Amino acid sequence: MFDFSIIIRTYNPEIRIIKRCLQAVQKLDLTGINCEVIIIENNNTIAWKDHEDIVGIISGISNLKIILEPKPGSSNAGIAGVKISNAPWLVFFDQDNESYPDYLVNLSSVVAKYPNVGIWGPGQVYVDFIDETTDWIDKNCRATFQEKKFDRMEFALQEEWNRCYPPGSGICVRKEVFVKYIELYRLHNFQTIARAGNSLMGAEDNQVIYTAILMGFAVGVCPELKLNHLIPAEKSNYTYVKKLRFFTRYSVPLAEVEFHPQVLKKYENKQTSQFSLFILLNKYLIKGVLSRKVKESIIDCLLVCGNYTGINLVLKKKNPGWLKLFLRMNGVEIK
């Protein structure tokens, strides 16, 4: 039995990025800790693990397993990893996460001190734009890529979303929580399967957090858990940011309704009219022009549209043609 199972889900990773991820894992301080590492190849079409820069790193990681999961989506990859894991705590690193050397040492301390917490996330996430990007992206989009700097530990036990509930990067989950999530995932046939291929649909992490809350475990972040989030040029651009912000908001209603069907009524009462949506979007755009912050106003519009279309998705309502056109003009395609 191990203390921690590190699970890394990969999908056609860039060599320079997965190299930094694996080097960080190789350098983890394991003083007093027994750990296994599970890498899942999720529909990869490139032989990244045979690259000369990777072979030596892989050979230097103890207790390493590499498995294949043909079903697309990081949810399916995560489930495959959990199935063969042998530890009470699961640590999920994305292929673009670079953990600090003391990650597991600090995690070991905090899980022992707070047995009432079922999920921990890093309290310090630093975005590293590894390619040249614009000043606007650097200034305005770090939070979009999960940068955060908690200076103290925070955790909560409530169904309503809390600011200390962590996104997926570096998330640490009690195995019993994830096993329960798998049970619910199969029982209710959840369609929220996190990102598959190049899709930006997500919110599977939300459902894992809902599971912990259901089981009576708190969820939180610890500032001593630190990692770098590596963002290449293909993501550090305005087109990608617009789509990411839209789909992040679009995915939430489905994830919530699948887990809490009773909230469907809330969305039925909450949904705004097409006319009110049209007026609101125009207000944002006019304000953006007048303040010379057009990019910011368009993203505000996309957040509103993501929420609106996400609610329509769970209500099984069609979206108006003018809205689809606006989204298409901004690089977003939905049914």
Query: Please, are residues 240 and 234 in contact by the beta-carbon 8 Å criterion?
Result: yes
Report the pLDDT averaged over residues 167-179: 94
Q: Is the per-residue pLDDT at 181 higher than 70?
A: yes
Report the pLDDT averaged over residues 103-122: 98
Q: Residue 86 is inside which H or E element, if any?
A: none
Report the pLDDT averaged over residues 115-140: 97
Domains recognised in the chain with CATH numbers: 4-236 (3.90.550.10), 261-329 (no CATH)
Query: Within a 10 A sphere around the Cβ of 183, how many other Cβ atoms?
Result: 11
Report the pLDDT averaged over residues 53-73: 92
- The reported pLDDT for the residue numbered 197 is 47
Looking at 42-51, 126-135, 145-154, 235-244, which range is the least confident one?
42-51
Return the half-sphere exposure (C-beta side, CA atoms, 13 A cut-off) of residue 254.
22
Report the pLDDT averaged over residues 226-254: 96
Q: How far apart are CA 92 and CA 209, in angstroms?
A: 14
Query: Within a 10 A sphere around the Cβ of 210, how many other Cβ atoms?
Result: 21
Whether this prediction's pTM lies above 0.95 is answered by no
The dihedral built from the CA positions of residue 311, 316, 317 and 322, taken in this order, carries a sign that is positive
Report the pLDDT averaged over residues 4-18: 95
pLDDT 10s digits, 298-314: 999 999 999 999 999 99
The dihedral built from the CA positions of residue 299, 234, 123 and 201, taken in this order, carries a sign that is positive
Q: Is the per-residue pLDDT at 164 higher than 70?
A: yes
pLDDT 10s digits, 269-306: 889 999 999 999 999 999 999 999 999 999 999 999 99
Mean pLDDT estimate for the chain = 93
Coil, strand or helix: which one is 333? coil
Question: What's the pLDDT band for 335 if we cut at 50, 70, 90?
Answer: confident
Report the pLDDT averaged over residues 156-184: 94
Question: What's the pLDDT band for 202 if we cut at 50, 70, 90?
Answer: low
First to last CA, the chain: 46
